[in-house]
Amino acid sequence: MLGEGGIPVMGAPARFLPRQLPFVESTPETGDVTTFRFSTRQEPFAWRAGQFLEMKFPDLVDPRGPTRLFTISSSPTETGSLTISTKMSGSPFKQRLRTLRAGELVDITAPDGDFVLEPGRPAVMLAGGVGITPFRSMLRYATDARIEKPLILIYSNRTPEDIVFRKELDELVRRNHSIQIIHTITRPAESKEAWKGHVGHVDGELLRTAIRGVRHPLFYLAGPPGLVQADRKVLLQEIHLSEGDLRIDEFEGY
């Protein structure tokens, strides 16, 4: 089976196939977001950019249980490992993640979800905070696979310091002229950086400007449910889209 750009996705994988992947390393991103890398060298692992996995620590005592869902933040084109990127909290689950040792095996069942690039249609991606994870994967994939269609990311954060993968996103724009990224900052006064870009929440005016000249785009919304629902309302009421034009990935738990 070929994904967009002719890249093989190695057949449709069985839903929620359990594996144990060795933990490799963690990398702090901006703010309280950390990326965790797991090796896929021993256990070939196929997924489509934008899909999520389920991670489980069977012996963990946590009020919300021993499992969490995470979008895979790396691209299938970055072979040999996969990453998840998550906002750290005081939950027992996140404490367990924080104390992983290199080589430790972690239960991962994956992949799942239809929050993936659709062949042909331009994509408009709306992310808030840690909701950037599927779009980091999709934009990296589209760049490596040389997919040429408009890919517009509107990324909302409180301050410029909160922008996750900022350098990488800038680099992807340089590498792939089909990508356009609009950052919008909702609390510029709380930043040390003098912000010259767009300010405020995503609204009809910002969206109309961003999609001018783009034919029949599909809209992808990811992040904390409150933010996703606010964006959805603007798209339905001010841009007059129908639900069929939207793909939604709510990160419940935020």
Ligand X SMILES: Cc1cc2nc3c(=O)[nH]c(=O)nc-3n(C[C@H](O)[C@H](O)[C@H](O)COP(=O)(O)OP(=O)(O)OC[C@H]3O[C@@H](n4cnc5c(N)ncnc54)[C@H](O)[C@@H]3O)c2cc1C
Of positions 40, 74, 133, 156, contacts ligand X by CB under 6 A: 133
Residue 57 within binding range of ligand X, rule CB under 6 A: no
Contact region with ligand X (CB under 6 A), list: 23-31, 65-73, 137-145, 181-189: 65-73
Q: How far is the CB of 211 from ligand X (least distance, A)?
A: 25
Residue 135 within binding range of ligand X, rule CB under 6 A: no
Of positions 52, 135, 165, 219, contacts ligand X by CB under 6 A: 52
Site string for ligand X, 68-107 (x = CB under 6 A): xxxx------------x-xx-x-x-xx-------------
Q: How far is the CB of 235 from ligand X (least distance, A)?
A: 19
Q: How far is the CB of 33 from ligand X (least distance, A)?
A: 7
Classify the phi-psi angles of 216: left when phi > 0, otherwise alpha if psi is within -120 to 50, otherwise beta.
left
Angle at 8 between CA 4 and CA 11, to 5 degrees: 110
Cα-only R_g, the chain: 18
Nearest residue to ligand X on Cβ basis: 253
CA distance 166 to 169: 5
Q: How far is the CB of 129 from ligand X (least distance, A)?
A: 9
Residue 31 within binding range of ligand X, rule CB under 6 A: no
Q: How far is the CB of 108 from ligand X (least distance, A)?
A: 13
Q: Is 213 helix (H, G, I), strand (E, B) or coil?
A: coil
**Nearest CA-CA partner of 47 in 107, 105, 116:** 116
Give the binding-site size for ligand X (rule: CB under 6 A): 20
Tokens 């979008």 — which residue? 71
Site string for ligand X, 221-250 (x = CB under 6 A): ----------------------------x-
Would you say 122 or 253 has its CB closer to ligand X? 253
Q: Is 214 helix (H, G, I), strand (E, B) or coil?
A: coil
CB contact at 8 A, 132 and 70: no
Would you say 63 or 103 has its CB closer to ligand X? 63
Please name the amino acid found at residue 176.
N
Angle at 80 between CA 35 and CA 37, to 5 degrees: 15
The string of DSSP letters for 146-180 reads T--S-EEEEEEESSGGG-TTHHHHHHHHHH-TTEE
Of positions 189, 212, 242, 252, contacts ligand X by CB under 6 A: 252
Residue 170 dihedral angles phi and psi, to the nearest 5°: -60, -40
The binding site for ligand X (CB under 6 A) comprises 52, 63-64, 68-71, 84, 86-87, 89, 91, 93-94, 130, 133, 249, 251-253
